[in-house]
Structure formats: C-alpha cells, structure tokens
C-alpha cells in the first residue's frame, strides 16, 4: 500500500471513530436529502430538466475551445481582461501580479473552489497579502485553520458549540456565545469593515456565458456581490469547463443547482456581471479580470468518457446522498473536492499515485448518479477510474494510471481468472475449499472478516452432489 | 501568458469527438405558466416564505406606504436614485417626514464611508418579477448603482405586477439580454441569509437584513 493510500485509510478510521463527525454529518446530510426531494415533486419535470441541464453542459464541452475563444473576445469587448493558466502556480502568479500592480494589502474573497484548488490564500499570505474569506462557512474554516469539508457548506463538520468556542478563542473581545444568530452578527461586523478596506475582491464563477461575456455567480449571503462590487478590482477565478454557450443556457442550470444543493428554489442572489464600471456609473470595480485555469482539465477533456467529469456544476448533491461521505465526512478524503465527484475528479487532477485509492471509497450503490442534475454517470466512472488506477497497458489516459497496481492483487486476480477458465482447476479449487471448510482469514481477508462473517462453503460442492445423484440428466 | 492560452486551446482541439453542437430543448421551462391571480399568489407566497415583506399597493399609493414603513422601521436616511420616477416620487412624499433622503448621484469613492455606515435603507426599482422562483429582476446602471440594493440594512423595492414573467428564460427573452447585457443584472429572492452555522437559518449576513417589496398594479 503506498503512503497516500495508507493515510486515506487512517483518516477514514479516525472519522468513523469520531462521534462528533458522525453526528454532525449524519444530521446535515439527512436534512439535505429531504430538502432536495421536496424541491422536485414532479419526477417527469425533473427528468426533463436533467436532460436539458446535461445537454447544456455537453454542448459546452463539445465546443469548448471555440466557446473559450468566444468568451474571451466578448469579455474583452465588455472590458473584462481574460488570463489563461495551465497550472495552479501560474494562476497564483497571475493573481499576485494583479494585486501587486494595485499595491494591494488585503484581498476579500467570495466562495471559490478553484481558489481552494490553487491554495490562493496561503500563496498570497507568503507575499504579505492578507486574503480573507467572506462566506461565513469559509470564514469559520479559515479561522480554524482548516479546509472546507463540503463544497457548498464548508463548515458543516462543526456544530454551534464548536464554532462558539472557535470565535471566543480567535476573535478579540468576543466571548463564548452559543447562538447562530449572534455569531453571524459578530462575523458580519468584522467582515463589513474588511469589505470596506479591501483592495481586491477574488471570487469564483458558477457559469461564464460565451455569447454575452457574462460571469454568473450565485449565493445567499451577499458576500459574493460585495466581493465583486465593493473593491476597486475584481478577479474571478474559474476552471475552463465552466463556460456555457448562450445566456439562455444558464436558466436550466440555475433551476437545477440550488434545488439539488440545498433544497432551495433559487439562491438569494443571482449576480450576472458583464464588465467593470462603465462611463456614468457610480460604483462597481474599475477593473474586472477573468482567470481561466486548466490544472489537468484539458487532459480530462481528451477522453470522451472521462470528459463527463467536466459536466459538473458543483452542486454537491452526490456527496449529500453518498452513504460513504455521510459517514466519513469531507476531510477524510484529504482533497479539495470530496465525495463521489472528488473521487472521480481528484485522481485525474492529482494523479493515481497520490489519490488513486479514492474511487474505492464507494459501495457503487448508484445514489450519486441518480441525483446528479447534469447526468454524470458517476458510478460507471468510479469503476473506470478503479481500472485506470491499476492499468497495466502503460497507455492509461489518466495521470499516474497504473500506479495503484500491486503484484499481490494482480496475481490473485490472474489466479482467479485461470481457475474460472479451466473446469479441472475449478473443481479442484472448490473441492479443496470445501474440504478445508473455507478460506483461511489471512492478509486482506483478515481485515475484511474483522467486521463480517466469512461465508462457509457447503459440505459438498454442487458437482459432488450431482455426481451422487448419479449424473441423472 | 499567451503561451498558456495557445497550449490550452491546442490540447482541447486535439481532443477526439469535439465540435458538434448538442441540441437543447427548453420546453420544460417554457411550459411553466401562471396566470393573473395565480401568479401574484405564487410570487408573494414564495417571497414571504423567505422572509420578504410584500405590500400589495397601487401606482398612486406606494409612496405613502413607503413613508409609513420608513417611519415604522425608524429609517433616518434613505438612499435612492436622483432622477428615476421612483426616486422622485419617494423624495416628494418623504419631504414631509423625518426621513432624510440621500441621492446616489456621486461616485462611490466620494461617499463610501457614509453609504457603508450611515445609511439605513436603499430604494430601487425592479425591472420585473419572476413568478417561478419569487425573484426580483434588477438591472443596475447609472441611476441605480450596484451597491444601492446591497449595502444598506433595509432594501425597499418597487415592482409592478405588469412586469411579471413566468420564468427567468422568459425575462431574458423579453429584454433581449442575449443581444447586450447591462454591467450588472441581479435576481434577488429575499433578504441576505446563511445557514453555515449548523444549518441554522439566519437572515441578514452581508447584504440587507430586510427586503421590502412594494407591489403595485
């Protein structure tokens, strides 16, 4: 077992043994599943919407290079500067350059998973620029020195008591207040002044519209709007896959995303930005930048099956409905994107050497595929990525394909194949197993058997019983 | 870096099976229709479900209602547009009250601190209402800048029932926005809120704590 895989298994054990994590996630995920179900009372309408949502995303990916060029041209027309980055290092440098050009000391951030991918806060911090998260959940997680455990609700792993303790410990002049409303007020006051002072706002993007050069952002708190409006400079960071062709294309996605994510009809704010402050306007940033990040996405795009990973609109329904995620929580995965989407996305971004074991963290129950609003066949892709992780052709399209291949496992399956291909060997094997009264609980079987009953073979094999009946066919 | 741009685009072009557009059938959204009273009931119901105050009033009576609400909510200073019909009507009715009106006719840099910390409420005009989701449709611009509906703790909005559309799709088509977008188009569905602390719903985080809709005929 390689090291990252062992770490993954250790984290899983730790999470499973932590009653707080078990309780916090269980309560949250149960609630989210119910809320989503209530939002889609008409199954026929839901399936039609999913068809449309999937078509919008597939259309965008089918024409991705053309649409990105169109987006760039249209953004330029609107006064938005477009940057391209192949790696997170390059992306971080671009953001740093923009900050330096404006002598920025403080950056305020709206929620952005791509910026988590870049570890932007840490990077800017090294250059003396404070990057502060303004989404309440992200703010809490940043204060705790942790990473988000859920892509929509970053602090879902903590309860009110834990957050009250955190605020009392980390925030000057704040006592212990175990009350969500009061804690929210505290954060609002602190962050309002930060918004007022911030030199640059950094946000993510939910959808980028090629037709009009618009950036669409959704949120409930208003921090996204403030981030993109109050500071003199707005930098939006996003993956190259977030583009859609037409303005109308955003409508089914806006209908599917909040309902699938948090069981809301619509988020409080849908913010469509098509440029910096124009002549005669009284506010809005003087500069808007759009940063398009590759970070492995072009490689994912190259394979028609794996490309479906890029259809994702980051709603989190797959993790909300995953029995594994609900039990181990987001941190156990050790990656920016946890849950089923993380299990298929992260090995393709980071490589199978690092996280090739992730697709194994699934019972293949199929819930993720059933709820995905854009019809990503996640269970099928989990199987595909398990295969790529142990690939022996040397031609895997996935980064680090084959890295999880082990001699023992390969030999076991080779043996299994041989036994099942030869009647003589098969009989010998089943008779031996019957005579021994089962397989000895050794090696991996020992671990497996520690929480399960090992199946016992019948006293006689089927062949033997048929022979005793005199082969009376 | 232009090298990165070229590399990304080249790799995408090298992908197999790209290029063909995929058809999209929008009838599932086009089928959503609500008529007259049904639309009003749905819109107001959805808005109230997320803690929005909706007052059904008329084109003539809304300024008086606004004045009454401002006094009741102890609004001392109300920011509004200087030159829109809504801004002018509000100004004339508020002259006789204790509420001071502040026109958003300066660049934000000139009164940033004042707007952030000394204005109690903002008044804006909705370009429409979306029945499906109970959302206000706003187009910001020189008259009604972006921060007017965001920074003050209370946000008043005047909306006419004549400007309802069934869905966002219908609204985008009605205003032909695909042909040209204003710098900022917004859907607002309730006061600012969060559930980031143990999923407890709290209204009023970074945006307005109260959203008040004056729904006219």
Residue B12 in any domain: the answer is: no
User: Smallest Cα–Cα separation from A201: which of A187, A191, A190, A214?
Assistant: A191
Average pLDDT in chain A: 95
Q: Residue B125: which domain range?
A: 34-216
Question: Looking at residues A58-71, what average pLDDT do you find?
Answer: 97
CA angle at residue A285 from B130 to B90, to 5 degrees?
A: 50
pLDDT digits (tens, 9 = 90+) for A179-204: 999 999 999 999 999 999 999 999 99
Give the CA dihedral B110, B113, B115, B120, nearest 10 degrees. -150
Quick check: A45 contacting B, CB < 8 Å?
yes
Q: Does A42 touch chain B (CB under 8 A)?
A: no
Tell me, yes or no, if A181 comes closer than 8 A to chain B by beta carbon. yes
Q: Indicate the range of A55-64, A197-206, A238-247, B19-28 predicted with least confidence.
A: B19-28
- Choose among B177, B185, B200: nearest Cβ to A180: B200
| Whole-number percent of chain A with pLDDT over 90 | 88
Q: What is the mean pLDDT of residues A297-326?
A: 97
Residues in chain B within 8 Å Cβ distance of A91: none
Residue B70 has pLDDT above 70, yes or no: yes
A residues 349-388 closer than 8 Å to B (CB): none
Please, is A431 exposed, middle or buried when counting C-beta atoms within 10 Å of its C-beta (0-12, 13-18, 19+)? middle
| Domain-located, residue B173 | yes
Within 132-161 of B, beta carbons closer than 8 Å to A belong to 132-135, 140-142, 145-147, 150-151
Q: Which residue of A has its CA nearest to B50?
A: A268
Grouping H, G, I as helix, E, B as strand and the rest as coil, residue B205 is coil
| Per-residue confidence (pLDDT) for residue A126, from 0 to 100 | 97
Name every chain B residue with its beta carbon within 8 A of the beta carbon of A268. Answer: 50, 188-193, 207
Contact between chains at A304 and B186 (C-beta distance less than 8 A): no
- Alpha carbon distance B131, B166 (integer Å): 5
Task: Decide which of A436 and A99 is more confident.
Answer: A99
pLDDT of residue B88: 97
Residue B145 lies in a domain: yes
Least confident window among A27-31, A128-132, A444-448: A444-448
Question: Per the domain annotation, does B4 fall within a domain?
Answer: no
Given a cut of 80, whether residue A441 has pLDDT beyond it is no
Domain count, chain B: 1
Asked if residue B23 belongs to a domain, the reply is no
Residue A340's pLDDT is 98
Residue with tokens 């953001």: A95
* pLDDT mean over B128-138: 98
Mutation to test the B interface, candidates A45, A155, A191, A269, most B Cβ within 10 Å: A269
Instruction: Say whether A274 and B184 touch across the interface (CB within 8 A).
Output: yes
Interface touch A248/B8, C-beta < 8 Å: no
CB pairs < 8 Å spanning A and B: 263
What is the nearest CA distance from B114 to chain A, expressed in angstroms?
A: 11
Average pLDDT, chain B: 95
Residues sharing a CB contact under 8 Å with residue A220, sequence separation 6 or more, in sequence order = A264, A267, A268, A269, B192, B193, B194, B195, B205
3-state secondary structure of B41: helix
- Residue A27 in this model has a pLDDT that exceeds 80: yes
Residues in chain B, overall count: 217
| Predicted pLDDT of residue A2 | 55
Chain A interface includes B176 (CB < 8 A): no
Q: Chain B: residue nearest A210 by CA?
A: B178
B143-193 pLDDT, tens digit per residue, is 999 999 999 999 999 999 999 999 999 999 999 999 999 999 999 999 999
- Note the Cα B87 to chain centre separation in Å: 16
Is B32's pLDDT higher than 90? yes
The first and second tokens of residue A359, run together, are 């697709």
pLDDT of residue A472: 53
Looking at residues A208-226, what average pLDDT do you find?
98
Residue A278, chain B, CB below 8 Å: the answer is yes
Question: Of A388-392, A438-442, B179-183, where does mean pLDDT reach its minimum?
Answer: A438-442
- Of B101, B98, B178, whose CA–CA distance to A214 is shortest? B178
Whether residues B15 and A262 touch (CB distance < 8 A) is answered with no
Question: Which one of A266, A277, A278, A286 would you mutate to disrupt binding with B, by most B Cβ within 10 Å of its Cβ?
Answer: A266
pLDDT at position A378, please? 98
Residue A239 CA to residue A163 CA, distance in Å, equals 31
Q: Which domains does chain A have, with CATH numbers?
A: 50-295 (3.40.50.10420), 407-468 (no CATH)
For residue A426, is pLDDT > 60? yes
Predicted confidence (pLDDT) at residue B2 exceeds the cutoff of 80: no
**Spatial CB neighbours of B207, under 8 Å, sequence gap ≥ 6:** A221, A222, A225, A226, A268, A269, B150, B155, B191, B192
pLDDT given at position B193: 97
Are A196 and B116 an interchain contact pair (Cβ–Cβ within 8 Å)? yes
Encode chain A in three state secondary structure. CCHHHHHHHHHHHHHHCCHHHHHHHHHHHHHHHHHHHHHCCCHHHHHHHHHHHHHHHHHHHHCHHHHHHHHHHHHHHHCEEEEEECCHHHHHHHHHHHHHHCCCCEEEECCCHHHHHHCHHHHHHHCCCEEEECCHHHHHHHHCCCCCCCCCCCCCCCCHHHHHHHHHHHCCCCCCCCCHHHHHHHHHHHHHHHHHHCCEEEECCCEEECCCCEEEEEECCCHHHHHHHCCCEEEEEEEHHHEECCHHHHHHHHHHHHHHHHCCCCCCEEEEECCCCCCCCCCCCCEEEEEEECCCHHHHHHCCCHHHHHHCCCCCHHHHCCHHHHHHCCHHHCCCCCHHHHHHHHHHHHCHHHHCCHHHCCCCCCHHHHHCCCCCCHHHHHHHHHHHHCCCCCCCCCCCCCCCCCHHHHHHHHHHHHHHHCHHHHHHHHHHHHHHCCCCCCHHHHHHHHCCCCCCCCCCCHHHHHHHCCCCC
Report the candidate in A445, A418, A352, A355 with the shortest Cα–Cα distance to residue A390.
A352
CA-nearest of A53, A37, A39, A57 to A252 is A53
- Identify the band that residue A457 occupies on the pLDDT scale cut at 50, 70 and 90: confident
State whether A222 and B206 contact (CB < 8 Å).
yes
With CB atoms and an 8 Å threshold, state whether B9 touches A299: no
Instruction: Specify if B144 maps to a domain.
Output: yes
Nearest to A242 by CA among A288, A204, A206, A291: A206
Beta bridge partners of B194: B202
Residues 57-86 of chain B whose Cβ lies under 8 A from any Cβ of chain A: none
Residues B150, A226: C-beta atoms closer than 8 Å: yes
What would the pLDDT profile of A254-301 be if each residue is shown by its tens digit? 999 999 999 999 999 999 999 999 999 999 999 999 999 999 999 999
The answer as to whether B26 is a domain residue is no
pLDDT at A76 > cutoff 80: yes
Q: Does residue B12 sit at the A interface (CB-CB below 8 Å)?
A: yes
CATH code, domain carrying B156:
3.40.50.10420
The whole-number average pLDDT for the span A314-330 is 97
Is residue B11 over pLDDT 70?
Answer: yes
A454 confidence band (pLDDT: 50, 70, 90):
confident
CA-based nearest residue to A458, from A424, A421, A430 = A430
Query: Is B15 a member of any domain?
Result: no
To the nearest whole Å, the CA of B27 is away from the closest chain A CA by 9
CA-CA distance, B28 to A252, in Å (whole number)?
9
CB contact under 8 A, A247 and B29: no
């Amino acid at each position: 077992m390689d090291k990252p895989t062992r770490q993954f298994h250790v984290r899983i054990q730790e999470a499973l043994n932590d009653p707080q994590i078990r309780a916090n996630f269980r309560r949250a995920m149960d609630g989210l599943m119910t809320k989503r179900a209530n939002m889609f009372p008409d199954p026929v309408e839901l399936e039609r919407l999913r068809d449309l949502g999937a078509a919008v995303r597939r259309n965008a990916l089918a024409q991705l290079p053309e649409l990105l060029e169109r987006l760039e041209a249209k953004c330029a027309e609107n006064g938005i500067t477009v940057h391209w980055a192949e790696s997170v290092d390059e992306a971080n440098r671009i953001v740093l350059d923009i900050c330096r050009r404006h002598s920025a000391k403080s950056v305020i951030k709206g929620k952005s998973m791509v910026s988590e991918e870049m570890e932007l806060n840490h990077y800017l911090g090294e250059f003396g620029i404070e990057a502060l998260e303004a989404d309440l959940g992200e703010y809490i997680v940043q204060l705790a020195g942790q990473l988000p455990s859920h892509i929509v609700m970053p602090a879902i792993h903590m309860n009110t008591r834990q957050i009250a303790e955190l605020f009392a410990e980390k925030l000057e002049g704040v006592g212990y207040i175990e009350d969500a409303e009061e804690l929210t007020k505290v954060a609002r006051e602190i962050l309002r002044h930060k918004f007022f002072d911030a030199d640059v706002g950094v946000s993510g993007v939910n959808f980028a519209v090629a037709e009009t050069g618009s950036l669409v952002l959704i949120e409930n708190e208003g921090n996204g709007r403030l981030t993109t409006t109050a500071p003199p400079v707005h930098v939006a960071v996003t993956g190259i896959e977030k583009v859609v062709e037409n303005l109308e294309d955003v409508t089914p996605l806006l209908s599917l995303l909040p309902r699938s994510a948090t069981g809301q009809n619509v988020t409080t704010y849908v913010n469509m930005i098509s440029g910096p402050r124009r002549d005669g306007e009284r506010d809005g940033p003087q500069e808007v930048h759009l940063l398009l990040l590759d970070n492995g996405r072009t490689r994912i795009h190259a394979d028609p099956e794996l490309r479906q990973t890029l259809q994702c609109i980051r709603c989190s329904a797959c993790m909300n409905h995953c029995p594994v995620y609900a039990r181990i929580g987001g941190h156990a995965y050790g990656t920016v994107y946890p849950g089923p989407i993380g299990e298929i996305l992260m090995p393709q971004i980071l490589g199978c050497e690092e996280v090739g074991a992730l697709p194994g963290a699934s019972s293949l129950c199929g819930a993720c595929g059933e709820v995905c609003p854009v019809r990503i066949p996640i269970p099928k892709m989990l199987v595909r990525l398990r295969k790529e992780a142990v690939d022996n052709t040397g031609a895997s399209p996935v980064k680090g394909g084959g890295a999880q291949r082990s001699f023992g496992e390969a030999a076991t399956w080779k043996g299994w194949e041989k036994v099942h291909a030869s009647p003589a060997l098969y009989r010998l094997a089943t008779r031996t197993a019957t005579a021994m009264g089962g397989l000895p609980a050794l090696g991996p079987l020992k671990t497996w058997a520690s929480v399960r009953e090992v199946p016992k073979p019948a006293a006689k094999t089927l062949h033997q019983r048929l022979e005793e009946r005199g082969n009376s066919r | 870096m232009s090298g990165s741009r070229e590399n990304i685009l080249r790799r995408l072009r090298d992908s197999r099976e790209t290029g063909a557009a995929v058809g999209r059938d929008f009838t599932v959204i086009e089928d959503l229709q609500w008529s007259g009273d049904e639309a009003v009931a749905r819109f107001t119901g959805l808005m109230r479900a997320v803690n929005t105050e909706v007052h059904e009033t008329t084109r003539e009576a809304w300024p008086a209602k606004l004045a009454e609400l401002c006094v009741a909510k102890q609004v001392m200073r109300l920011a509004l547009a200087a030159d829109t019909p809504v801004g002018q009507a509000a100004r004339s009715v508020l002259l006789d009250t204790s509420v001071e009106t502040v026109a958003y006719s300066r660049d934000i840099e000139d009164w940033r601190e004042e707007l952030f910390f000394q204005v109690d409420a903002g008044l804006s005009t909705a370009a429409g209402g979306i029945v499906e989701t109970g959302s206000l449709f706003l187009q910001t611009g020189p008259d009604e800048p972006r921060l007017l509906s965001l920074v003050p703790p209370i946000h008043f909005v005047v909306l006419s029932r004549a400007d309802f559309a069934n869905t966002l799709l219908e609204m985008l088509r009605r205003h032909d926005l695909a042909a040209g977008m204003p710098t900022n188009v917004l859907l607002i569905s309730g006061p600012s809120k969060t559930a980031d602390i143990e999923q407890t719903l709290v209204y009023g985080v970074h945006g307005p704590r109260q959203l008040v809709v004056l729904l006219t005929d």
